[in-house]
Amino acid sequence: MTIPAILFTIIGMLCILYGIAVFLIRSGTMFYAVWLALGACFLLLGFLIRIRFFDRLPKIVKTLLLMAAAAGVLLFLICEGFVLRGFGSRAPKGLDYLIVLGAQIREDGPSAVLKYRLDAAVDYLRENESTLCIVTGGKGENEPLSEGEGMKQYLVRQGIDPARIIVEGRALNTVQNIQFSKQLMASPDAPAALVTNNFHVTRAAALARKQGLTNVYAIAAPSDPAYLPNNMFREFFGLTKDFLAGNL
């Protein structure tokens, strides 16, 4: 077996094992299936290289396949570069609003991803006592209550005054998070910051500007390093989808 065949086979197996790990943490989405499919593709590629399938293809076909693969890798790297730019985002003091974007709520409280966001919001709210907090997110089929209401309960348990918390409980995606939160603000020009995980900052901020929030910042909450590859890979598809849909 050639070195490329061995390499792609190993990568395929690692992708499948990682997809299983993502499935086991009950992330609330079906994205783990993408890792399984990607792993199967790498295994197939390794097999095709081992049997010298590509050697039998016409030169023009091989050239086109290489060009398509190179274009895909380049697009992926550009998107991930934009994602990485958002990792250090911070907001100035004294903003009128924080907008905490929703994520999965479970029976025992916020998911790990959402807890990171809420803890970052708590830190800011404790230091800026005049800032109001909009918590946004509707109720998914696998959630016991709306994400907005679940987030409010968590913030109150952390000592945040309920009078400072505005619940938006209808949004089912990031675009709606921002659209519906904007309706709860005194003005789209009011200084505000989105609170979301570091891997999500770039897309969320771009969506907010597209929705007409003219004075918007972002606060990058941490994320679990073990599942950061999954989240960053997912953002590639999110950025591509929102770009093609005209949301960015």
DSSP assignment of 75-112: HHHHHHHHHHHTTT----SS-SEEEEE---EETTEE-H
Structure confidence at residue 27 as a pLDDT band (50, 70, 90): low
The overall average pLDDT reported for the chain is 93
pLDDT given at position 187: 93
**Which residues have C-beta within 8 Å of that of residue 184, sequence separation ≥ 6?**
134, 166, 168
pLDDT given at position 145: 93
pLDDT given at position 168: 96
Query: Among candidates 178, 238, 247, 221, which has minimal Cα distance to 90?
Result: 221
Statement: residue 93 has pLDDT above 90: yes
Q: What is the three-class DSSP state of 211?
A: coil
Statement: residue 1 has pLDDT above 80: no
Query: Among candidates 123, 108, 86, 97, which has minimal Cα distance to 197?
Result: 86
pLDDT given at position 205: 95
pLDDT given at position 142: 82
Q: Rounded mean pLDDT of 41-62?
A: 93
Structure confidence at residue 163 as a pLDDT band (50, 70, 90): very high
Residue carrying the six token digits 């890798």 = 73
Whole-number Å distance between alpha carbons of 188 and 183: 8
Q: Rounded mean pLDDT of 33-50?
A: 95
Statement: residue 28 has pLDDT above 70: no
For residue 243, give the H/E element and its range. Answer: helix 228-244
Whole-number Å distance between alpha carbons of 201 and 223: 12
pLDDT given at position 80: 96
Whole-number Å distance between alpha carbons of 83 and 232: 7
pLDDT digits (tens, 9 = 90+) for 107-146: 889 998 999 999 999 999 999 999 999 999 999 888 899 9
Instruction: Kindly state the percentage of the chain with pLDDT values over 90.
Output: 86
Q: What is the DSSP letter of 52?
A: T
pLDDT given at position 5: 92
